[in-house]
Amino acid sequence: MLFSSMIFLWIFLPLVMLLYRIVPKPWKNGVLLFASLIFYSWGEPKYVLLLIFSVTCNYFFGRILEEHRHWLLLAACVLVNLGMLGYFKYFNLSVRVLNMLCGREVLGFREIVLPLGISFYTFQILSYVIDVYRGEIKAQKHYGRLMLYVSFFPQLIAGPIVKYKDIADQIGGREHSEEKIFYGIRRFIYGLGKKVLISNTVAYYADLIINQELTQISSGLAWLGAILYTLQIYFDFSGYSDMAIGLGKIFGFNFQENFRYPYLSCSIQEFWRRWHISLSTWFKEYVYIPLGGNRRGALRTYVNLVLVFFLTGLWHGADFNFVIWGLYYGFFLVLERLFLGALLKKNRFKILNHIYTMLVVTVGWVMFRMNFTQAIAYIKHMFCFEPGMNNLGNALTFKLLLFAGLGCVLCGPLQKLAPRWEKKLYDPTYCSLWEMLLLLGILFLCVVMLVSDMYNPFIYFRF
pLDDT tens by residue, 253-303: 999 999 999 999 999 999 999 999 999 999 999 999 999 988 888 899 999
Exposed/middle/buried for residue 350 (C-beta within 10 Å: 0-12, 13-18, 19+): exposed
Same domain, residue pair 169 and 234: no
* Domain annotation covers residue 400: yes
Q: How confident is the model at residue 36, as a pLDDT?
A: 94
pLDDT of residue 392: 64
Q: How high is the pLDDT of residue 391?
A: 64
Question: Which residues on adjacent β-strands are paired with residue 390?
Answer: 217
Residue 69: count of CB within 10 angstroms of its CB:
13
Q: Are residues 79 and 193 in the same domain?
A: no
- Which member of 70, 176, 316, 381 is catalytic? 316
Look at residues 143, 162, 138, 142 and name the one whose alpha carbon lies nearest to residue 152: 162
Residue 1 counted as domain residue: no
- Whether 233 and 285 map to the same domain: the answer is yes
Half-sphere exposure of 429 (CA within 13 A, CB side): 0
Q: Based on the fold, state whether residues 15 and 152 are members of the same structural domain.
A: yes
252 shares its domain with 166: no
Q: What is the pLDDT of residue 395?
A: 66
Number of domains within the chain: 2
Residues 163 and 266 reside in one and the same domain: no
Whether 417 maps to a domain, the answer reads yes
**Both 218 and 357 in a single domain?**
yes
- Are 160 and 198 members of one domain? no
Question: 371 and 246 share a domain?
Answer: yes
Residues 218 and 279 in one domain: yes
Same-domain pairing of 126 and 189: no
Last residue of a domain, one of 144, 174, 204: 174
CA 33/CA 15 separation, integer angstroms? 14
CA distance 105 to 380: 33
The pLDDT, as a whole number, for residue 6 is: 86
Determine, yes or no, domain membership for 382. yes
User: Which domain covers residue 75, as residue numbers?
Assistant: 6-174
- pLDDT for position 95: 85
Q: Which residues of the chain, if any, have pLDDT below 70? A: 43, 388-395, 453-463
Q: Are 113 and 44 within 8 A, CB to CB?
A: yes
Is 211 part of any domain?
yes
Query: Which one of 174, 206, 239 terminates a domain?
Result: 174
pLDDT at 424: 83
- 176 labelled catalytic: no
- Inside any domain, residue 42: yes
What is the per-residue pLDDT for 390?
A: 65
Amino acid at 45: P
Among 115, 150, 174, identify where a domain stops: 174
- Assess whether 213 and 148 both reside in one domain: no
